[in-house]
Structure 1
Amino acid sequence: MKNLREWAAVQELHKRKVPILRIAKQLKMSRNTVKKLIKLKEEPKYTRNHYPSKIESYMNQILIWRTSPEYDFNGTRIFRELVRRGYDGSINPIYRALKKIDEEKTEISRDATVRIETPPGDQAQYDWSEYQVVVNESARTVYCFSMILAASRKKAICFSLSCDADAIYESIQELYDDLGGVTLELLIDNPKALVIENNPKSEDEIKYNEQALLLVAHLGTELNACNCYWPRTKGKIEKPFQYIEEQFIKGNTFSSMEELNRRGKEFIRDWNGEMHTTTRRVPNEFFENEEIQALLPLPNTRFRMKALEKRIISNDGYIHINTNKYSVPIKYATKQLKYRIVYGFRIEIYTEQHDYIMSLELQDGKHGIFKNPKHYEDIKVKASKSIPQIKRDFTSTFKNGEAYLKAATGLFQQPSYHARKILELLDLYEPEILDKVIAYAIANNKLDIKSIKQLIRNDFFKIIADEVKTKKVIKSTDTDGIIRSLDYYEESSEVTAL
């Protein structure tokens, strides 16, 4: 059968009244063919009889074996599998079928996918990404662990200096805590800390890490490992990492890992308050209105792979970790506490009964001493016992301090003793009031501490009469607070004298 172009040429020449013989010579075809094309009023269509090949009944299975990321079989593997199923032909038709499949597959973008939505509470997706971040003026490799609720798209993140099994298990629990509950399923990638074996080309069951199975049993969820080398299976968690890098990581520096985590969580909280471009809903609102009710409750304790380390706190309130010393509340001095290092930077300290006490940031270097003055409030010295320091504190605190020390020098062997006792009264009275008492004491030549206390008891209102009119002058507002017992200081002076 002649093609469409030749049919059109015959029809055109015939309309011009060109003789059949001349048309045949011009187009180099027989007169009979010209006659048939003239009679044919519609363009010719090529048809042929269909003879099914031996592999036609197997084409659906061949398509799956060739295109699915779980298989991706080559021709010889497909041939061997088909023979087991009864195929008795040669391998050549299989290769021809595969060539056609591969050609058609290239016409579809590799990014083409079918979006899967899950009901609220069913699934969370978990993964991490690596960033270069300036922390404490040094470029550090940090790992951003992230989790997203598949339904509401509510997200949570935390940052770590390590991505070992301890960090992975801890981050899963922390992120579930941040999200406020546990999903029925946790979709994950295939790190060795979670998945031992996941071979998409075999029909063997996925083999999970035993510790990971203990973790999910503790949480009440189930692991679901996505296909290897097929990240779009967990596309909801993959895409946010680019946004985090562009909108949060780039251009920012952080004084510590704790600050990085704090600001990162604030960033995610704000982002959860913005409309999601796919669901067209605000994740926080979707979560509060629908998903929170579908989540499983959080466990009361944390799952840990390793036992906590033990340390005896020194009598000056320090815990020794990796050659460095860190202060803890002084009430734990000489006691045994437990600790662990999380994410490669955070030290968590617990009692022997595993009650949480506090967190510290692991410091670089060796033999450093890191002290927090608040840890020593319970034994804080009310006034220095160093004579030079007493004099400096006294003259810097009171306008009449220098005059008092000069006047007291001729009266006492150790004026600093009385000055120190006056400084201790700052627990009861404002510096301005004590300054007026000191001025009154100088004028009346009553400079020893007992006389000054007596002045406060007997002449207090007379001394501060002008101040009472304008402002509140003592720290306590009740009557008992105005005239308070000074027995404590008398007892303290007796102890000092002993």
Structure 2
Amino acid sequence: MLVVETIGKIRRAYFVQGKSIKAIVRELRVSRRTVRRVIRSEETEFSYERSSQPQPKIGPWRDQLDALLAANAARASRERLTMIRIFEELRGLGYEGSYDAVRRYAAAWKRRESEATAAAYVPLSFAPGEAYQFDWSHEVVVIDGVTTTVKVAHVRLCHSRMMLVRAYPRETQEMVFDAHDRAFAFFGGACTRGIYDNMRTAVDAVFTGKKRTYNRRFLQMCSHYLVDPVACTPASGWEKGQVENQVGTVRQRFFAPRVKVKSYDELNAWLEDRCVAWAKAHRHPETPERTIWEMFEEEQPSLVPYRGSFDGFHAVPAAVSKTCLVRFDSNKYSVMASAVGRPVEIRAYAERIEVRQDGPVVGEHRRAFGRGKTVYDPWHYVPVLARKPGALRNGAPFKDWELPAPLERVRRKLKSVPDGDRQMVEILSAALADGLSAVEAACTEALADGVHSSDVILNILARRREPAPPATIATPEALRLVHEPVADCARYDTPRRAAR
């Protein structure tokens, strides 16, 4: 095969220097046929590609190898076999050729498949406030020393490319609601259209074309923020390509190297700061003279105004056990003792759990993640202590109970009293009626006087509940007595003697 330098020498010798073909052949030691080909073709480079690669060993095994390659491509990326493993499986079927032949055939097979499935796309353009895109990704971080896989919600404005990412322990519906509320509050508004994939927390059924049956609670959220939801065609990620590309960018720029934080709150605050810094430092892809942040500030007036937080909870019914506990998501939460024996409704938010019974709230806790955890509120069990005061010392809800300082001092002093548990229960029960601040003030006053019994503390509370004496009415000067009457008890004897 001729190199480019030799072709150049032949062309210059013939066209510039005027040499004959015979002279060029003698000087450059090439054949006459080659010189004539260069002169007549006007080409500056010649390349050779074999039209068909002979594969005497692999030819009889082509169908089996195609089946192995197709099955391997259909597997999840984490489960795919390496090429050496495929070669070993083919050897197990009886193939006696080399690994290199299998590797070359597999590369050609992959190239043919990619060419067959390659598709062209139309670039999309969005008006200010027209649409946003939503998606999830899984990232690995270290939270309080534990390596954790977090679920990251991505929200991206299609016009300005402004983004907000937020990490959660789950991809459940209440997390979707919270991610939207945080994003719309951060952006200062929502778009008229939201673009999603067919995630189960939003779509109940997928029909032909764009027709979908959306989840009722998801539609309520969209109605609250005045958003029209649109679901992508299955396996057509290009319809929300902006947020798909954002997932890779965030993974490379935000989560590498591995982030180490103390809590989800710290992680989300850090992610929000990174999103703002990223927008201020990077140019808009369609308007390079302006940053993403500048385009976002321009888009904000076109957004649908933020309408306040949506009550985004996931409700499930539950039964209350005799230990005043309800079970949710493999964990237990305490409720008021009065709720025992009747069904309740658990409302799960992204960060808290709310338990209601016929409307009123009978329990509220910060949400626990994981399995087998029990979350107590000791005040839920105080009415039970009235019947069983001895449970105050060893009851599970009261271990590590942090009371206000005056109540804790009274509790320590009452431990040495024979009926100290009963007296402490009476004081705690008073807090349910009079309020914790009033009981705390009464304990402070009693301790200042050097006493700590429940009778004294309850007496102080009773005195503070009594109405204050009426205010003294000022007597006008014209009605004031000049001579006050003299007390004379003898005048009562006069009617008594008359009666005789």
TM-score (normalised: structure 2): 0.47
TM-score (normalised: structure 1): 0.47
